[in-house]
């Protein structure tokens, strides 16, 4: 289908969804689908829930956010449950302004944008359908037409509680256009659209001297006063402020805390009674989510001002910290690069991970527990297994600092530095070392890094570099082994056979000659020594392995190369140790002979075909690892 067909199809779809009818007909719809009369907050909550929720380890992950926001599961769960869920139940919470507080470029705007775009789409679905009084600039809820004294009866019949009263404009229209016959008032289905100013608004304060409150609450239309005879005729008023236009949906209040006081006063009644004042009219009920964002410093200075006390108690503050998981940080960079003009650049494997290690380290707080350092904490947070620690330890670590992640290096800085590394290098291929160098060089120009932080950050650059060195060495060594996985498996099985015979005091049968033979002590030790297991400790280690194997067997799981962290490390080291000289000589020789050249080409081909390198980055990697091994 080409684009013109698609345009046509989407227009037809929109036509199909349109609905227009009298209030009487609308009530029929409500009877069948009571959800169309839900409040804005409830609609937003259902939108998030309808997208799907995955529950894991008693934690919820919302699919609504999970393609765009990474690593903030805890913060999002709190946001959805404590704010949206409570607000959906018509608790007072929904009158409160939602204030997202977090460090720069930590995803606050992204979350708000997701909600806006999500609502636009949701309003086209059956579950998210919204109806409004036709021709009303504020898309007023048709149920407001039901007079207050009949609302209890309405509740009896429909099970729906109506909040808010009919606006002055519709009150007048009801009289003038419909002669007071509520059942004849025309209702239509509306579709949210920020561009068309339906149900989604954004207010951003400009110069306080010139900004007009009209941007928020609308203004008198002087051209029509003559026609209607008076300023207090609601038909002579333009209800086109952001608060008006966002009714039924949401309004983003940018830089709210920087805003002039007179703007904030309007919010006071909104957050208290759920209504606001426009022109000379009675209060106007608003049914909308108001969301603002700020950083910690700004928030602190806001609450330090006594005058703001009233408003402060009417906001619900949710922390949106930085992500603290290395793997998720990597995904954030991948996403940002995909969306940038760098999408065509080759970024060598592990370059983003190395940068992510650095950023996450700058955000973590030193653990209070003994026997754990920052690097181990970083691994635990990322869900890696760390010898001697359990899942429970991760929860305890998190509890040590409930507000962790509110400072450190931000993702945008990293992306900017990657971009400047690309500019500096004339080939469009960059590796981990280029990125680290650029991150380091940029620290001097970073506006908000103190000298003390800078010292710490430089240490983290070295740690990230060490982590990368390990990864790089392993990558090359693996590429040298003809079939790495196969070799590791064979060596492991061989070791396990011997360990079993050793512990059970039995002999083994030589597969070739059929002869009985004793376990191969030399082989076992050559593996165990790789991870520093002493002669005295070997028995305990071997028994531990056997216990692990039988525990696996009991659960019907297969014990393999990845089942025991330290054993895997030992096997890997052993394979690499056997190769060490070959790798060292081959990667560092300036004048390779024919067989070395063949080997190099083979390794490069493997790096490209199986590990995601290109020829530039594969050659750079080999040269770097050669220099590491020769230190
Ligand atoms: N946890 C995260 N998951 C996915 N993307 C993220 C995350 N944190 C930041 N980003 C990305 O970083 C960039 C900056 O995020 P965003 O603009 O939403 O931050 P912000 O908190 O609004 O920052 P500011 O305070 O500067 O306005 C965006 O491209 C966003 O997608
Ligand atoms: Mg922002």
Q: Cα angle vertex 238, ends 232, 241, to 5°? A: 120
**CB-based burial label for 628 (10 Å; 0-12, 13-18, 19+):** middle
332 or 230, higher pLDDT? 332
Give pLDDT, residue 414.
Answer: 96
Ligand number, closest to the Cα atom of 338:
1
First-residue to last-residue Cα distance in the chain: 60
Ligand number, closest to the Cα atom of 202:
2
Average pLDDT, the chain: 90
Nearest residue (CA) to ligand 1, atom 4: 69
Give pLDDT, residue 346.
Answer: 94
Q: What are the tens digits of pLDDT across the range 150-166?
A: 999 999 999 999 988 99
Cβ–Cβ < 8 Å for 143, 37: yes
Cβ–Cβ < 8 Å for 132, 140: yes
In the predicted model, what is the mean pLDDT of residues 168-186? 95
Give pLDDT, residue 516.
Answer: 84
Q: Which atom of ligand 1 is nearest to the CA of 68?
A: 4
What separation in Å is there between the alpha carbon of 202 and the centre of ligand 2?
A: 13
The answer to whether the CB of 562 is under 6 A from ligand 1 is no
Give pLDDT, residue 143.
Answer: 97
The answer to whether the CB of 218 is under 6 A from ligand 1 is no
The answer to whether the CB of 321 is under 6 A from ligand 1 is no
In the predicted model, what is the mean pLDDT of residues 259-264? 77
The answer to whether the CB of 101 is under 6 A from ligand 1 is no
Give pLDDT, residue 491.
Answer: 87
**CB-based burial label for 592 (10 Å; 0-12, 13-18, 19+):** middle
In the predicted model, what is the mean pLDDT of residues 42-50? 97
In the predicted model, what is the mean pLDDT of residues 179-200? 96
Q: For a substitution probing ligand 1, which of 332, 335, 409, 414 has the most ligand atoms within 8 Å of its CB?
A: 332
Give pLDDT, residue 608.
Answer: 95
Which three-class secondary structure state does DSSP give residue 187?
Answer: strand
Q: Which atom of ligand 1 is nearest to the CA of 113?
A: 18
CA distance 444 to 451: 9
CA distance 359 to 408: 7
Q: What are the tens digits of pLDDT across the range 603-621?
A: 899 999 999 999 999 999 9
Q: What are the tens digits of pLDDT across the range 415-428?
A: 999 999 988 887 78
Q: Which atom of ligand 1 is nearest to the CA of 111?
A: 18
Is the confidence at residue 112, as pLDDT, over 70?
A: yes
Give pLDDT, residue 208.
Answer: 66
349 or 561, higher pLDDT? 349
What separation in Å is there between the alpha carbon of 105 and the centre of ligand 2?
A: 6
119 or 370, higher pLDDT? 119
Is the confidence at residue 44, as pLDDT, over 90?
A: yes
In the predicted model, what is the mean pLDDT of residues 469-482? 87
Is the confidence at residue 380, as pLDDT, over 90?
A: yes
What separation in Å is there between the alpha carbon of 412 and the centre of ligand 2?
A: 11
The answer to whether the CB of 308 is under 6 A from ligand 1 is no
What separation in Å is there between the alpha carbon of 340 and the centre of ligand 1?
A: 14
In the predicted model, what is the mean pLDDT of residues 261-289? 79
The answer to whether the CB of 107 is under 6 A from ligand 1 is yes
Ligand number, closest to the Cα atom of 107:
1
Share of the chain above pLDDT 70, in %: 99
CA distance 595 to 601: 10
């Amino acid at each position: 289908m080409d684009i013109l067909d698609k345009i046509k199809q989407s227009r037809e779809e929109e036509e199909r969804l349109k609905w227009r009818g009298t209030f009487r007909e609308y009530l029929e719809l409500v009877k069948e689908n009571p959800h169309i009369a839900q409040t804005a907050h409830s609609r937003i909550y259902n939108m998030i829930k309808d997208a799907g929720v995955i529950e894991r380890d008693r934690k919820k992950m919302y699919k609504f956010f999970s393609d765009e926001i990474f690593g903030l599961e805890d913060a999002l769960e709190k946001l959805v449950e404590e704010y949206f869920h409570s607000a959906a139940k018509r608790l007072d919470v929904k009158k409160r302004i939602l204030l997202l507080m977090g460090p720069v470029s930590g995803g606050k705007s992204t979350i708000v944008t997701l909600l806006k775009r999500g609502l636009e789409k949701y309003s086209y679905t059956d579950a998210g359908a919204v109806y409004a009084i036709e021709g009303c600039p504020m898309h007023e809820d048709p149920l407001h037409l039901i007079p207050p004294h009949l609302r209890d009866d309405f509740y009896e019949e429909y099970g729906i509680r109506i909040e808010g009263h009919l606006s002055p404009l519709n009150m007048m229209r009801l009289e003038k256009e419909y002669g007071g016959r509520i059942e004849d008032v025309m209702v239509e289905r509306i579709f949210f659209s920020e561009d068309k100013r339906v149900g989604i608004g954004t207010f951003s304060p400009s110069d306080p001297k010139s900004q007009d409150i009209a941007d928020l609450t609308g203004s008198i239309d002087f051209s029509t006063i003559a026609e209607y005879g008076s300023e207090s005729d609601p038909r002579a008023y333009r209800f086109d402020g952001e608060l008006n236009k966002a009714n039924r949906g949401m309004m983003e209040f940018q830089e709210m805390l920087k805003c002039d006081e007179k703007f904030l006063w309007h919010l006071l009644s909104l957050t208290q009674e759920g209504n606001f004042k426009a022109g000379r009219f009675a209060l106007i009920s608003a049914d909308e989510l108001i969301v603002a964002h700020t950083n910690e410093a700004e928030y602190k200075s806001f609450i330090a001002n006594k005058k703001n006390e009233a408003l402060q108690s009417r906001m619900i503050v949710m922390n949106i910290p930085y992500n603290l998981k290395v793997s998720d940080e990597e995904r954030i960079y991948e996403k940002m690069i995909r969306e940038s003009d760098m999408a065509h650049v080759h970024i060598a494997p592990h370059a983003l991970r190395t940068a992510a290690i650095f950023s996450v380290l700058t955000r973590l707080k030193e653990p209070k527990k003994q026997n754990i350092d920052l690097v181990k904490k970083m691994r635990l947070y990322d869900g890696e297994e760390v010898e001697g620690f359990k899942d429970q330890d991760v929860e305890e670590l998190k509890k040590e600092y409930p507000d962790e992640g509110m400072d450190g290096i931000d993702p945008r800085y990293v992306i900017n530095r990657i971009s400047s590394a690309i500019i500096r290098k004339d080939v469009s291929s960059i590796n981990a070392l280029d990125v680290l160098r650029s991150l380091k060089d940029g620290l001097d120009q970073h506006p908000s890094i103190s000298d003390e932080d800078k010292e710490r950050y430089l240490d983290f650059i070295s740690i990230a570099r060490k982590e990368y060195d390990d990864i790089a060495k392993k990558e090359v060594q693996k590429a040298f082994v003809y079939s790495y996985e196969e070799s590791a498996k064979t060596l492991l099985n061989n070791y396990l056979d011997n360990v079993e015979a050793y512990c059970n005091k039995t002999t083994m049968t030589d597969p070739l000659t059929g002869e009985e033979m004793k376990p191969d002590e030399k082989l076992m030790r050559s593996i165990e020594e790789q991870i520093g297991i002493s002669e005295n400790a070997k028995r305990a280690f071997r028994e531990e392995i056997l216990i692990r194997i039988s525990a696996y067997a009991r659960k019907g799981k297969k014990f393999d190369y990845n089942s025991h962290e330290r054993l895997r490390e030992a096997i890997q080291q052993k394979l690499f140790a056997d190769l060490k000289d070959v790798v060292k000589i081959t990667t560092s020789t300036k004048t390779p002979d024919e067989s070395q050249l063949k080997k190099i080409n083979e390794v490069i081909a493997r790096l490209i075909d199986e590990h995601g390198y290109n020829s530039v980055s594969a050659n750079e990697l080999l040269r770097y690892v050669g220099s590491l091994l020769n230190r």
